[in-house]
Amino acid sequence: MSIYLEHYRDLEKYCTTSRQVEILHVYITNDNSAKFAAKELNCDERYIRKVIETIKTKAASAGDTEYFNATRFVDSGQIIKGKSTLTKDDEGNTVWIKTSSKQATADIAESVADSLKALKPWKIVKKPAKTKSDLCTLYTLTDYHIGAYSWAKETGDNWDLKIAEKVLSNGVADLISGSPDSDQAIFCQLGDFLHWDGLVSVTPTAKNVLDSDGRYEKLTEVATSACVNAINLLLGKHKNVHVIMAEGNHDLAGSVWLRLLMKRLFSNNKRVTVEDSPFPYYKFSWGNTFLGFHHGHLSKINKMPSKFYSEFAKEMGTSDYRYLHTGHLHQKEVMEDGGVICERHPTLSQRDSHGARGFSKTIRAAQSITYDKKYGEIGRTVVYPRTR
């Protein structure tokens, strides 16, 4: 047996899902050919290459590559954090080059994506008998932070997973009942739907410790159930539903698997479309109205018009009305610049200790906004948090 083949067979211990194990085995039995493995598994060749690369990357981060296996020199209970190389610079001086491994936020999303292959699409909801063909209603939820914890004595109100579920369910129902029977609906989850992004309740980049309630598995259960229920309710009122699961700074990976999950669950329903772009600036056109969406963690509200013009010049240039929607700061704000109206949406979620101690108290709310194909915005509904 060649060392090369032995290495690939040893990669199984770095697989995180049964789907990855299956792909690895088929890949090896087909002489490491992604083309023939894809043919046998009836899937895309690029998908096979991506899964194999994911497994190899995980192995490499542990110090195990096809050229060298550093795990042989690591005692039980210890892990490899990086690599140190002794070399010389251009002037002949001896130098150490040290690297450190960094866990990518996409690892969780990759694992979830593999598991999605086994999920069955959601049952189809009966289409409403009559809708208003010129109207599109946008339902926006932002910065909901499922999994956050708040103590009333410190923040003014209690907040946990159970309260979050109830408030969200009531909020969506209230928005739907107060909105017209538009032909088109947009369910826009505008980012930070989840309070944290992995097994440890910290922010994904700065690693700030968060006040949290529940385990990550419970968060995913609540988030998935809430989104599916909301979309099904919208399908009972509107002819078509477009779904946006925007990237937020608290759920960089969570937003990825939420998009994949919604696309898979509603794959058999032609009335549902899911925005699947990894680019965190999203768009939707309705007649002569352009709608743009961005969480707000990468672009400030006053910079958004120029950013969207630079990315979507054609779509914005042919529209009479241009509206950009953002969140991130948990408060309402509206500004107009260059023929573009930018609106920051408030949140239904309760503030945590960080928000209570460092920022002013804001009005909690959520909105649905209705647009006409010819006249742009023509109405809106505003709801406030309630638990009964």
Q: Could you report the per-residue pLDDT of 240-299, keeping only the tens digit for each?
A: 999 999 999 999 999 999 999 999 899 989 999 999 999 999 999 999 999 999 999 999
Instruction: Give the pLDDT of residue 340.
Output: 98
Chain segment 16-70, per-residue pLDDT in tens: 777 888 898 899 888 888 889 888 988 888 888 888 888 888 887 777 776 666 5
Please give the average per-residue pLDDT across 232-245, as a whole number: 97
Residue 334 phi/psi, 5° resolution?
-135, 135
> Is 99 or 383 the better-scoring residue by pLDDT?
383
The span from the first CA to the last CA of the chain, in angstroms, equals 67
Domain assignments of the chain as residue spans, ordered by start: 3-77, 125-383
User: Which parts of the chain fold into alpha helices (H)?
Assistant: 3-10, 18-29, 34-41, 45-61, 106-115, 152-155, 161-177, 216-235, 254-265, 304-311, 313-317, 353-358
Name the CATH superfamily, with its identifier, for domain 125-383. Answer: Metallo-dependent phosphatases (3.60.21.10)
Token output for 66? 């096809």
Assess whether pLDDT exceeds 60 at residue 108: no
pLDDT tens digit sequence for 180-190: 999 999 999 99
Residue in this structure with the two tokens 């690895």, named with its chain if needed: 24
Question: Could you give the CA distance from residue 305 to residue 285 in angstroms, rounded to a whole number?
Answer: 16
Question: Do the Cβ atoms of 215 and 159 come closer than 8 Å?
Answer: no
- CA distances to 48, 112, 223, 273, 382 from 230, rounded to whole Å, are 34, 22, 11, 14, 17
DSSP H or E run through 149: none
Write down the pLDDT at residue 21: 87
pLDDT value at 12 more than 90: no
Condensed to tens digits (0 to 9), the pLDDT of residues 326-360 reads 999 999 999 999 999 999 999 999 999 999 999 99
Binning pLDDT at 50, 70 and 90, where does residue 368 land?
very high
Give the model's pLDDT for residue 1.
Answer: 47
pLDDT score, position 206:
86
Distance (Å, whole) CA 194 – CA 54 = 25
Produce one character per residue of 124-160: b if its CB has 16 or more CB atoms within 10 Å, e if not: ebeeeeebbebbbbbbbbbbbbbbbbbeeeebeeebb
Top-confidence residue, 167 or 59: 167
Is the distance from CB of 294 to CB of 247 less than 8 angstroms? no
pLDDT at residue 103 is higher than 60: no
pLDDT of residue 104: 46
How far apart are the C-alpha atoms of 310 and 282, rounded to whole Å?
13
Q: How confident is the model at residue 176 (pLDDT cuts 50, 70, 90)?
A: very high
Residue 5 has pLDDT above 80, yes or no: no
**How far, in Å, CA of 282 to CA of 311, rounded?**
10
Contacts of 146 (CB under 8 A, 6+ apart): 161, 164, 193, 194, 195, 219, 222, 223, 226
With H, G, I as helix, E, B as strand and everything else as coil, classify residue 57.
helix
**Dihedrals φ, ψ of 224, to 5°?**
-65, -50
Position 83 pLDDT exceeds 90: no
Tell which wins on pLDDT, 54 or 140: 140
pLDDT band at 177 (very low <50, low <70, confident <90, very high): very high
The percentage of residues in the chain with a pLDDT greater than 90, rounded to a whole number, is: 61
The predicted pLDDT at position 101 comes to 47
The closest alpha carbon to 203, from 341, 92, 354, 65, belongs to 354
Give the mean pLDDT of the chain: 87
The DSSP string of 312-337 is SHHHHHT-SEEEEEE-SSSS-EEEEE
